[in-house]
Amino acid sequence: MQCAKLFASLSFNLRRFSALPPLHYNSSLQKRSSYLRRFSAMPPPDHHKDDQYLKEVIPKRIQLFQSIQSQQKSHIQYLPHDPIKIVLPDGSVKEGKRWESSPMDIAKGISKSLANNALISMVDGVLWDMNRPLESDCQLKLFTFDSDEGRDTFWHSSAHILGQSLETEYGCKLCIGPCTTRGEGFFYDAFYGDLGLNQDHFKSIESGALKAVAEKQPFERIEVTKEQALEIFSDNNFKVEIINDLPVDKTITVYRCGPLVDLCRGPHIPNTSFVKAIACLKASSAYWRGNKDRESLQRVYGISYPDQKRLKEYIEMLREAEKYDHRELGKKQELFFNHPLSPGSWFFLPYGTRIYNKLVGFIKKQYLERGYQEVISPNMFNMKLWETSGHAANYKENMFLIDIEKQEFGLKPMNCPGHCLIFDHKVRSYRELPLRMADFGVLHRNEASGALTGLTRVRRFQQDDAHIFCRESQIKDEVRGVLEFIDYAYTVFGFTYELKLSTRPEKYLGKLETWEKAEADLTEALNEFGKPWQINEGDGAFYGPKIDISVSDALKRKFQCATLQLDFQLPDRFKLEYSAEEENGIERPVMIHRAILGSVERMFAILLEHYKGKWPFWLSPRQAIVCPVSEKSQPYALQVQDQIVKAGYYVDVDTTDRKIQKKVREAQLAQYNFILVVGEEEAKTGQVSVRVRDKADHSVMNIPCLLEHFKEKTEAHQ
């Protein structure tokens, strides 16, 4: 199994399973030999299993692993086991021995409970296996499942358990198996030949995983040379390809749990028994390295927990979420649809367009108040632009390309290069900064057809995209302003959210002092903002540090919508400049990429499920409906509609010949916020009988009072 930093060429982000460390093996040699015997005398294949492949490969990998592990253990024995000091987060100091004491030893010395629950450690800012020996004086942190570090490691290790079951059950060639980027669960991609997995296979897969759990298989780690790695995985062309793509100076690590030997950066939980509950969720197709021209793989998604109770709660949450899937609600409420003649590009119907425009209008109103200037930029550029920006080298396969008069053009997948051209089209002065440039331009990304998922993964979309060009001295204030904008919007939507500061990665561009200054500015801005935040060491983009914002909806699912990233490289690539305060001085701006909604389409889907189809009044496409009791009161109903429309609200009229009880019931099912019943009495008095969507009682209002009530409800949410 591999981690994000091993797959720079993958088109999807495997961030959350990278940077994880190592472990010890305490099983007896006899138990190890049992695995060799088990796979040298395998039963006849059941379901397209390549029995011969398993009988040859698994024992070979284990033998090579054990040989290298034995050499490394012998080497460690001769290293000095000097006393070391281990500093804990509370400032207390524990004594240990170099190359001997492990984080697990420290946990056991603190309490039995901590040792039973600690999944992973952090040594001087680097994630570290609990059973991996410490190498020097250090600062040590321990993490349980209740932390992001603990959960990510738990699910990453569970992917190994899943991979073990898949390989032994089906004889497949394992490819990659991370924890998912959405922050819950994991998956494993593998090549099965002609076999297509579905739910009918889940029982046997889960059975194999639970067997690995029952055996309490320890996760063991070794470091290998490129040549050793190629020898271990010589039978798997996918792993060989990954290894060959690694930098020459890259430390390669291999992990083992039971019969599974896998290429992986790690780290992992102490042993498989920590996973008390595991389940398969779904199976789907995937392409190797996200390339539709490469091998077709099968992807199995799973979820796991340290106890059955939490797994049960999660499955119940999924069932609840399934009832409110945005694709089904979108059909019922006539909001949008998709057509096979334009896959990944959605049609928004009149009611859906009302919501779409409301979301855009909500952000535009804030732009006016927060000093943003809207621009409109082209949808298509000559590829020379994308060569300058770096996207031609790193993102071309995800772009839609067009040949025009023997020159190559590309539909824009993001707005930032175009905004650099706008900044550069005239001489700029420091007096113009910060320049906050916003754009709702249409974007296109060439997503694989198998990856398209409703409105959450599309090919054509719009973002509330903005770029702030500022001076280095303005970074802190601008970042704080964006955070306040995010807080305002997400409070209106009813989201809770988490903040993480992602710092300089191993491979970064620019000067170290520039990075350190930027990280200090972001830290200060976060502290002044006053909300809790965490640090995500080494997970910044190569061009600058960033703040990751994940929101939680009503079903406690996490999504990443907003983004806030510092960029020192794009201004440099485009040679952007402004005249400084000093005479004849020229300086380069810093660029802040930011979005609040992110993709409007994706936010639309998230909000539809978050509200369970019951849109709040200010955002609702069906704010009110007038239901005349009989044909006699229809003229008055149309007058009421006209007055409400002129006041700026969405209102329909039910002119059918159904009985009033049926009209009211249909209006409730259609999720109209207000149902206005009018009869001959209301027509005489200029009033309406007002019913609220989810309440049985009603009240009588005149039209001015009703409109004032609508105004109050709208302003309360904006």
- Strands, E assignment, 349-486: 373-374, 380-382, 401-404, 407-411, 435-439, 442-444, 460-470
Structure tokens that stand for 216 in this block: 């309490």
Pick the catalytic residue: 16, 132, 444, 467?
Answer: 467
Rounded (5°) CA angle 246-507-398: 70
465 is a catalytic site residue: yes
Which residues fall within 8 angstroms of residue 499, CB to CB, at 6 or more apart? 483, 526, 529, 531, 532, 533, 534, 547, 548, 549
16 is a catalytic site residue: no
Measured CA to CA in angstroms, residue 33 lies from 29, 385, 560 at distances of 6, 59, 46
477: closest CA among 590, 362, 596, 598? 590
Measured CA to CA in angstroms, residue 234 lies from 7, 61, 130, 242 at distances of 19, 10, 30, 12
686: closest CA among 669, 710, 668, 702? 702
Q: Say how many C-beta atoms besides its own lie within 10 A of residue 360's C-beta.
A: 15
Peptide bond into 267 cis (omega under 30): yes
The DSSP annotation for 138-165 comes to: EEEEEE-TTSHHHHHHHHHHHHHHHHHH
Pick the catalytic residue: 132, 391, 546, 693?
Answer: 546
Q: Hey, is 544 helix, strand or coil?
A: strand
State the pairing for strand pair 435-439/373-374.
parallel
Structure tokens that stand for 405 in this block: 């008069």
Pick the catalytic residue: 201, 593, 610, 622?
Answer: 593
15 is a catalytic site residue: no
- Which residue type does 389 have? S
Half-sphere exposure for 186 (CA within 13 Å, toward CB): 27
Pick the catalytic residue: 164, 217, 366, 463?
Answer: 463
416 is a catalytic site residue: yes
148: closest CA among 186, 113, 103, 184? 184
Rounded CA-CA distance 535/547 in Å is: 9
Walk across the sheet containing 674-678 and list its strands: 651-653, 624-628, 674-678, 687-692, 698-702
Pick the catalytic residue: 445, 480, 622, 691?
Answer: 445
Rounded CA-CA distance 458/327 in Å is: 13
CB 151 within 8 A of CB 129: no
- Which residue type does 639 have? Q
Q: Is 260 exposed, middle or buried (0-12, 13-18, 19+ CB in 10 A)?
A: buried
Helices (H) and strands (E) in the chain, counts: 22, 33
593 is a catalytic site residue: yes
Which residues fall within 8 angstroms of residue 711, CB to CB, at 6 or more apart? none
Pick the catalytic residue: 105, 262, 465, 487?
Answer: 465
Pick the catalytic residue: 3, 172, 179, 416?
Answer: 416
Under DSSP, the state recorded for 454 is T
Residues designated catalytic = 416, 445, 463, 465, 467, 546, 593
